[in-house]
Amino acid sequence: MSAAAAAGTWKLGDLEVNRIGYGAMRLTGNGMMGNSDGAPIDRDVAVGLLHSAFEQGVNHVDTAAFYFSPLRSANELINRALSSWSGDVVVVTKVGPGRDPSGEWLDTVRPDQLRGQVEENLRQLGRDCLDVVNLRAGGPRTASLAEHFGALAELREAGLVRHLGLSGVLHEHVAEAQKIAPVVCVQNSYGLDWRRADESGLVDLCGKQGIAFVPFFAVSGLRREAAAGQEHNARVHSVARAHNATPAQIRLAWTLHRGPHVLAIPGTRNPAHLAENIAAGALRLAEEELALLDKPDEDTA
């Protein structure tokens, strides 16, 4: 069994993936805003990092055309890595509000512009059909997504997209989209420090409907796009010591314990952190440890 298979598998439609995947956002810099961690990552180093993930069993990569910095594009790095890899890897990308070539955000995207975004992802990834495309919510948080999701459903019927998902959405958006076309995954910010998806019932809704729930920022928490900072949660440290694990591994393990439909897509440019993230799938937290982690924030040191 590969390291990434230790947490089990889930299906995105008809595509079975290991529950531990890889998020490509950090490949081009520190976050999707294009902020730099310093010198851009060497292309061969990036390809080697992706190959290392694949060798450890990662067969699910999350990306987007708007994951780019002045000199690097996550999609193009993934394309290069997959062109020299013989195994099957499911690539999940997203469309909707994005960035223009200068890096400025385009918060308003019309439904008829989504085809261009899908085609841009196809070109960058070197594919004729995208495995999974998530519609990223934009505009007012409660706004309907029906027209935009309908446009993607048409591209699915046309054979440009295999499966559809949602990103950054509310409980009601899932029901709205499901009336138009099957939803195979929902990506939302979620972790120990940010549990709105629990409060709204979204995590449980996805489980009941057989939809993958894919948290992002599960490790960085409230720091969001920034890399995970120094861990200040005493409860996380306590559980980590008991397992001889890192706090980041405990945070990932906690999300995976929320249900068999919950996937993980931690991203990193550090090979050691990559191995640690993948190894988190093998951690088994006891009920009392989960209860400790779930205590209210006022118990946090």
Which pair of tokens denotes residue 46?
């990036």
pLDDT at 297: 59
- Report if residue 247 sits inside a domain: no
Cα three-residue angle 171-175-181, rounded to 5 degrees: 135
- Report if residue 239 sits inside a domain: no
Q: How many domains does the chain have?
A: 1
The whole-number mean pLDDT for each consecutive block of 10 residues of the chain, a chain of 301 residues, reads 92 98 86 54 95 98 94 96 96 93 86 96 97 90 92 98 96 96 95 78 94 88 49 83 94 95 95 96 95 70 38
- Report if residue 36 sits inside a domain: yes
H/E stretch holding 138 reads: none
* DSSP 8-state secondary structure symbol assigned to residue 20: B
Cα three-residue angle 44-62-43, rounded to 5 degrees: 10
Which pair of tokens denotes residue 95?
């469309």
Closest C-alpha among 25, 153, 139, 8 to residue 92: 25
**d(Cα 164, Cα 53) in Å, to the nearest integer?**
24
- Report if residue 73 sits inside a domain: yes
Catalytic residues, by residue number, are 67
**d(Cα 272, Cα 53) in Å, to the nearest integer?**
11
* DSSP 8-state secondary structure symbol assigned to residue 262: B
- Report if residue 291 sits inside a domain: no
- Report if residue 108 sits inside a domain: yes
- Describe the crossing of helices 114-125 and 146-157 by its angle, rounded to 10 degrees: 50
- For residue 38, is it left (φ>0), alpha (ψ between -120 and 50) or beta? left
CATH of residue 86's domain is 3.20.20.100
pLDDT at 176: 97
- Report if residue 155 sits inside a domain: yes
Domain housing 167: 3-231+259-285
Q: Which residues have a Cβ under 8 Å from the Cβ of 266 and sit 6 or more positions away? A: 22, 23, 218, 219, 248, 252, 277, 280
**d(Cα 207, Cα 184) in Å, to the nearest integer?**
11
